[in-house]
Amino acid sequence: MRIAVGPTIMLEVNESCRYQLKRTSREGSGCFVRQKNYFQKVGVLKGGVSSEREISLRSGAAVARGLREAGYDVVETDVRRRALELPEPVDAVFIALHGEFGEDGQVQRLLEERRLPYTGAGPAASRAALDKRLSKHIFVDAGIPTPAYEVLRPGQARTLPLPVVVKPPCGGSTIGICRVREESQWAAALAEAFRHDTEVLVEAFIPGRELTVGLLGDRALPALEIIAPDGWYDFAAKYGKGGSRHVCPAPLEPGTAARCRDLALATFRALGCRGMGRVDFRLTDGGALFVLELNTIPGFTETSLLPEAAQAAGIGFADLCGQIVEMARLDSGDAGREAGQ
């Protein structure tokens, strides 16, 4: 796309940037100067209907505070059913919903229908990232290293040797996930996972270090290491204050740190994501990296990892929220001429 600047100068503008140039003012020099915010009134969707509702309420409240600090007019909406109900018109939507009707593409599709730009991945990429059965196929096809796995239905026998991790394919926040080291633990772990889904994902447990890399647009943030009790990053370790220790940037050899960032970006692109995300890894003692999953809507609580990595990169919380909302768009790439209507 080309934009005329003055009588003779033409600027080539990348399609992904064109809406950052719309809210501008012409100065005497004939150049365009970008003003602070393209979107002025932002809706924040929080809560939701999934098992991660309480975490989402905390994430959404934090995002709303951050956006207000960044100068936005914010409308908070507590989502209590599988429907899109905004109390008043907004220019864009920040999705802070986790799990079902948040990260599975449903709310994204409703926003597409309303032509309301929103943060994060589109409907198809959201679904692919949340459903680990789909993610695993994409990882394998793209050559992204990931632990060996199998999908089981009730009555099917496990073939992977212990230790393994048992998880619901579409869950998050480590809800319903168990690590099985001994055969005596298998039945209880399987039953817990089946409480959340009709199939379960069984994955080879990779001993080593727990790492995560946040993504902001096309930028990989510094790798963060999670040091959890007994090496297991469960719900208590993830959300309880003092439940785990985070080190960012992670103490890694420069080559390993670069591989983490490159692999995170490759995963993000393979799934077709945009805006923001976070890729979780295991790093073995031998230096092998394995991708576990990608979160399209990472947490924004006081113990969340993406804001911590952003802070290590010099991006404060309010600035982080503002940068993410300024990347809001539709899956077509249109930032939404009908926004707010």
Catalytic, out of 118, 295, 322, 329: 295
Interatomic CA distance for residues 233 and 20, integer angstroms: 39
**293 carries an active-site annotation:** yes
Catalytic, out of 293, 308, 326, 331: 293
Is the peptide bond preceding residue 222 cis, with omega within 30 degrees of 0?
A: no
Catalytic, out of 179, 209, 261, 278: 278
Token duo for residue 84: 């899109």
Catalytic, out of 43, 48, 105, 299: 299
Catalytic, out of 239, 261, 275, 331: 239
Helix (H), strand (E), coil (C) string for 115-171: CCCECCCCHHHHHHHHCHHHHHHHHHHHCCCCCCEEEECCCCCCCCCCCEEEECCCC
**208 carries an active-site annotation:** no
Catalytic, out of 56, 126, 173, 304: 173
Handedness of CA 285, 174, 213, 318 (dihedral sign): negative
Catalytic, out of 52, 91, 100, 104: 52
Please give the single-letter amino acid code of residue 41.
K
**56 carries an active-site annotation:** no
Catalytic, out of 280, 308, 326, 331: 280
What are the backbone angles phi and psi of residue 185, rounded to the nearest 5°?
-90, -10
SS3 content of the chain, % helix, strand, coil (to 5): 30, 25, 45
**120 carries an active-site annotation:** no
**112 carries an active-site annotation:** no
Residue 185 per-residue DSSP state: G
Token duo for residue 4: 């005329």
Helices and strands: H and E segment counts in the chain: 9, 17
**173 carries an active-site annotation:** yes
- The catalytic residues are 52, 173, 239, 278, 280, 293, 295, 299
